[in-house]
Structure 1
Amino acid sequence: MSQEVNIGANGFHDDIESHDYDGIKEQNNPAPLWITLLFLVTIGFSLFYTIHYFGYPGNGRGQDGEYAASVAAYEASQAELKEQNQGNKPELAMNDMVAKGKELYTKNACMACHGQSGEGNAIGPNLTDKFWINGCSEADIMKVISEGKPTKGMTPYKAMMSEDEIKYVANYILQELVGSSPANPKDPQGEECK
């Protein structure tokens, strides 16, 4: 008795009964229902996740949007904190600022580059004359102290001192060092401040 064999479009036998390899027969057993349901739930979740985070432009839920939102929240909190700090602290008298600035000048070893009395040395310029390289105002001096001049060897101090402390050092330089007469001052550099 011959068995009828169906050959499909791909050239293989289509009937499952003919799949016999060395006595091992292929069976047509469907997957259990729980695996099928888990597979469908996984596909549904992946579709939801993809649409939620990447599905349409401008939804603000991608990495760029989340980063921008966290930066905005951080900047807002820093602005609020700065406003609170400025509102709660009374302004120091000039003498107190200069005294604190002198302490910070010594504590941060500014004399290593500018000399003990601001006279300057091989690295840093003279801080006692009227000639300045990076501007004459308090804001200019605060910017140089904060941002530094790495190409000239000036360390940025914004990570080591608060904005108020930088202001104290700038006032110490302007009020006590400028116009003083230290021994062996460095030759003038930059433009004359008037």
Structure 2
Amino acid sequence: MHLRILSVILALLVAPVAKAAEFSPLVDTDGQIQYPRNFRTEMVHLGSWFVPAGEASGFHDVYTERASVEAFRKTGKFPDGATLVKELRHSKSGTYTTGENVSHATGEIKQVFVMIKDAQGRFADNPLWAEGWGWALFKPDNLSKNVAKSFKADCYACHLPAKNNDWVYIEGYPTLIAEP
């Protein structure tokens, strides 16, 4: 009898964690998004943006899971649980054999943005989950802490022009287009 009660209690404790892990290993049961370690080697590079001036200047390299690319190519939509990682890095310019003022990304990270697709609205009470996505921002001095406070305050203004594309600027991601 005690063993059965213990197994029921254990199942109740483990079920929410397992369910969250099935959705995304980067999201806990409260909707907190973790920094995606090793994304440069474990994910597919979607494309890059270069912003020449201003606070967002630098290279913006964007990654997602291979399965998310395959799903997008088939349906034109990101699947539930898809992760988009945008790494913003400083840039340098110099003269190379290819020309003058050639820009390249440095190893110095400015910040990392993370979006996780939530087609089921799992975290409606969490202000970082809105418009079908979870939103996170990580600074290089503490990659274990999401510094974004809410979608409306920290993400909405930049992503509003991409609202009709599921809040994603897909025109910068040639990897989403099937190869000839």
Same fold by TM-score greater than 0.5: no
More helix by share: 1
Greater C-alpha Rg: 1
- The interval holding the TM-score normalised by the smaller chain is under 0.3
**TM-score normalised by L of structure 1:** 0.21
**TM-score normalised by L of structure 2:** 0.22
